[in-house]
Structure 1
Amino acid sequence: RILWLNGTEQHNRNTYGRCVYIHGTPEEWRLGSPASYGCIRMGMKDVVDLYDRVGEGAEVRVMRGSLLDTWAGQEYASKHSTGQLLGVAQR
């Protein structure tokens, strides 16, 4: 599955034309290290789960830092007993 991105700021509006996507990779051992030209790479099962949760047209915010620094991340973590924050998806 691939989620195509369109930038919202003037300097990055052409992400669609530059082929910048959210997509899965079969090389999951390489996640966490630079291996593309701006794409957001995910594990294969994770990208399918994300696509099923949000689908096309969802707003995606790329940010630095931990999701636990956001209100949505804190809310998610408070509702799940594992203590690990794997991600937050909203429609």
Structure 2
Amino acid sequence: IDADEDTFWATVEAHELTGPITAELTTVDTPTVIDGRRTTTDTITITRDGVELDAIDVESSEDEAPYDLAVRSIIGDQPFTWIR
């Protein structure tokens, strides 16, 4: 990029993703083996402003807590909304 440092960072700031963060289950019950046992995983896709930030696999569960913890492991304490 042919720009001085101030121009470069001003451009980065202007294009920073600032919209709400969302999390969505994008695949469910994918067969896998964890620690030698057969189980299934679900994939959570995390997005902001329509841009995928990350995708993370979580062992399938009826409990919501592991899913929330997985999202928090990526985004920290930032607020987010589940897309159902």
- Decide: shared fold, TM above 0.5: no
TM (norm. structure 1) is 0.23
Q: Which has the higher helix share?
A: 1
TM (norm. structure 2) is 0.24
Greater relative contact order (CA < 8 Å, ≥ 6 in sequence): 2
Higher Cα Rg: structure 1 or 2? 2
